Structure 1
């Protein structure tokens, strides 16, 4: 799980530095006009290295730690040692695209945080172990039940646009995690369906 720990270490360090350095956050966060006009494409990855506050960072990295450990070995078996890292970085890019395309000319919009990529890792894991127990804070929930509730809530919240959370990144990341994993290993879908019918 070397890459999982590495991603967490780098993200935690950059985010911690960003808490006291507004200029650093401004350089890394996904601000669409900077990409559209300034061609600052590094922001498609950099935004995942900075977070709005410590709870935001802690929740993302805590989730990544538990599910990244399981998925790192799985991806390495198909894509080599750097497979998980490639998946994670590509998930950052893909999960940001809907927000960027919707707001590419909006100077008042910006987003940050690794939630989209973490969602990709989590939903890839759910394909492999749909009945695994996930602890939502302290409440144990079957992974597949969490996936349904999480997706439903994200769709609803994304339509309402009543908070500052980038729900479209969560949805795009989750969809990418599923699609990437199934395209990489189509037998995963058969495994998921069989496991779904056999909670034991």
Structure 2
């Protein structure tokens, strides 16, 4: 099958379109971003995928798309378009599921970004083509495996610092998911590139074990992040928030009763529509 990288280009175009919409429209951004409470309590599972096409800034978007371009064409040509698409979305989902598990008790945690999927593409490429070279920051040529190590260390630090609502823990989950899917698709790579795969996978698995079994290591103060709010019981927060929403809904309904539907502001109409979906 002749692969021209069309799937990679489509993914990049969709990322730009959705991210542009999200950067211009905060309501759109909030509706499709990764939010633990909305996924676990309201079963808005689509956020596991849609959040991967939103970004916090143009810099975040462009950096991710450049990273994708560096690796995706070679990987798509090797795997084929449909298998590449499976690996991309498998990595995206794997990264977000890890993030959801890590932050399952922190209902207000939110993040966006294609980084989990892109890490999957990067680490899959390293597993299949460990000798490939990439250009670090567009200036310094480095081996692909070294780029992977640097990216892994940055992701580990990013998990601890929480310096934006970028899903750094999704980087780790996506990387391992992508590498695993690639090896399942081409099992001979495990034997041909065993040393490289183990060198990348072992520290990643170890750190995943640490953050799952000792989640308090995430709660660190540093230059970027000074305080982390944790809700001890997400169900308690749900009850509290539901009560507040009910009060707001009652006030809107009372206004309609007294003054009619036309008296509602645009914000009140949006709240009425949103609340009606969850009560």
The two structures have a TM-score, normalised by structure 2, of 0.64
Residue matched to 1:90: 90
Question: What's the CA shift for 1:105?
Answer: 4.0
Deviation string 1:31-62 (CA, Å, 9 cap, x unpaired) is: 01111111111001000110000010001111
1:15 equivalent to 2:15? Answer no
118-127 or 94-103, which deviates more: 94-103
* Cα contact 2:37–2:108 (8 A) shared by 1: no
Question: What's the CA shift for 1:118?
Answer: 0.1
For residue 56 of structure 1, the aligned residue among 60, 67, 81 is 60
Distance in 1 separating the partners of 2:121 and 2:19: 20
Question: What's the CA shift for 1:162?
Answer: 4.8
The two structures have a TM-score, normalised by structure 1, of 0.88
Residue matched to 1:122: 122
* Cα contact 1:33–1:105 (8 A) shared by 2: no
Distance in 1 separating the partners of 2:45 and 2:30: 14
Distance in 2 separating the partners of 1:162 and 1:41: 23
Residue matched to 2:223: none
Residue matched to 2:50: 46
Structure 1's unaligned 5+ residue stretches are none
Alignment length, in residue pairs? 191
Structure 2's unaligned 5+ residue stretches are 198-279
Distance in 2 separating the partners of 1:39 and 1:162: 25
Residue matched to 2:134: 134
161-170 or 181-190, which deviates more: 161-170
* Cα contact 1:98–1:169 (8 A) shared by 2: yes
1:166 equivalent to 2:170? Answer no
Residue matched to 1:185: 186
* Cα contact 1:129–1:195 (8 A) shared by 2: no
39-48 or 169-178, which deviates more: 169-178
Greater RCO, CA 8 A, separation 6+: 1
Distance in 2 separating the partners of 1:162 and 1:82: 34
Change (3 A) 1:153 1:9: closer
55-64 or 142-151, which deviates more: 142-151
Question: What's the CA shift for 1:181?
Answer: 1.0
Question: RMSD in angstroms over aligned alpha carbons?
Answer: 1.9
Looking at CA atoms only, which structure, 1 or 2, has the larger radius of gyration?
2
Question: What's the CA shift for 1:195?
Answer: 8.6
For residue 35 of structure 1, the aligned residue among 39, 61, 70 is 39
